[in-house]
Amino acid sequence: MTRTIEAQLLAPQEPVAIVVSRFNELVTNRLLEGAVSTYRRHGLPEDQITVVYVPGSFELPVVAQRLAQSKRYGAIVCLGAVIQGETTHHEYINQQVAAGLQKIALEYGIPVAFGVLTCPTMDHALDRSGGKAGNKGVEAALAAIETRNVLIELSRHEK
pLDDT tens digit string along 27-73? Answer: 999 999 999 999 999 999 999 999 999 999 999 999 999 999 999 99
Residue positions forming the annotated binding site for (2S)-2-hydroxy-3-oxobutyl phosphate = 86-87, 128
Q: What is the pLDDT of residue 107?
A: 98
Q: What burial class does residue 123 get, using C-beta atoms within 10 Å of its C-beta: 0-12 exposed, 13-18 middle, 19+ buried? A: exposed
Taken in order 117, 119, 125, 128, the sign of the CA dihedral is negative
CB contact at 8 A, 113 and 74: no
Fold of 16-154: Rossmann fold (3.40.50)
Q: How far apart are alpha carbons 158 and 82 in whole angstroms?
A: 40
In the chain, domain spans: 16-154
What confidence tier does 158 reach under pLDDT thresholds 50, 70, 90? Answer: confident
The answer to which of 18-27, 77-86, 131-140 has the lowest mean pLDDT is 77-86
What is the value of pTM for the model shown?
0.95
Residue positions forming the annotated binding site = 23, 57-59, 81-83, 86-87, 114, 128
Phi, psi (degrees; rounded to nearest 5) at 73: -120, 140
Q: Is 89 a catalytic residue?
A: yes
What residues are paired with 17 via a beta bridge? 50, 76
Residue of 89, 90, 124, 157 with catalytic role: 89
Task: Tell whether the model's pLDDT for residue 119 goes beyond 80.
Answer: yes
Q: What is the pLDDT of residue 3?
A: 85
DSSP symbols for 127-152:
HTEEETTEEHHHHHHHHHHHHHHHHH
Task: Tell whether the model's pLDDT for residue 86 goes beyond 70.
Answer: no
> What share of the chain has pLDDT > 70, as a percent?
97
Q: What is the pLDDT of residue 89?
A: 72
Residue positions forming the annotated binding site for 5-amino-6-(D-ribitylamino)uracil = 23, 57-59, 81-83, 114
Q: How far apart are alpha carbons 51 and 38 in whole angstroms?
A: 14
Residue 39 CB neighbours (<10 A): 24
- Which amino acid is it at 126? L
What confidence tier does 103 reach under pLDDT thresholds 50, 70, 90? Answer: very high
